Chains A and B, each alone.
Chain A
């Protein structure tokens, strides 16, 4: 079975500062990796995904993430955040070649961007 650990439950940051949200995973087989964002009172939306190929993936709203197989990590980064990036972020992993809908989710990281 796979597992996901989001290392920070809350990340406060000032507007225009860079941010990194950390995600480590555990799996005995190859995996797909996802980051989702949840704005208040809404469902989750896909931010970006890693299926194969380049280990640096770019997503919406200027976010990017790097897959590091040796460190089993998939950290999310943005060079300059905006107030509108305040939301909860979830890292998810699913086993290679299975339905990504059976993804295992981390507990979430609340990003708060302050003016």
Chain B
């Protein structure tokens, strides 16, 4: 039972570099989302998807892109990393209605 798998676990980037955070789930969940967690600020929704080919913005989408070509995968792209994007990123999935979220173990990103 893999659940929600995120890679990498840790990443250090220089300002201006790009990278993709990977997220995969094996539960056939329609819904997938990306959150960032910053100290004292809880979790803030970046982008989400309700199915393959459908994505939408959350609370803090600027600086991030997503796509959903398959049910299983939902990568998060940083096109030009900034120090303000230093955070812990969580991917989560769930069924569309009434369900709680299943979270990955997070990616700790540092931008210098």
Chain A residues packing against B (C-beta within 8 Å): 4, 9, 32, 34, 36, 41-46, 49, 51, 90, 97-103, 105-108
Q: Is B101 an interface residue (CB 8 A)?
A: yes
A106 contacts which chain B residues (CB < 8 A)? 42
Determine the distance from Cα of A42 to Cα of B103 in the docked complex, in whole angstroms.
9
Tally the A-B contacts, defined by beta carbons under 8 Å: 68
Which B residues are within 8 Å of any A CB, using their own CB?
4, 31-33, 35, 40-45, 48, 50, 58, 90, 92-94, 96-101, 103-106
Contacts of B94 in A (CB 8 A): 99-101
Q: Which residue of B lies closest to A34 (CB)?
A: B100
Residue of B42, B50, B103 near A99 (CB, 8 A) is B50
Q: Which of A4, A36, A100 contacts B99 (CB 8 A)?
A: A100
Give the docked Cα–Cα distance between A36 and B42 (Å).
12
Question: Whose C-beta in chain A lies nearest to the C-beta of B30?
Answer: A99
Q: Which chain A residue shows the least CB distance to B50? A: A99
Q: What are the residues of chain B within 8 A of A108 when measuring CB–CB?
A: 40, 42
Q: Are A51 and B98 in contact (CB under 8 A)?
A: yes
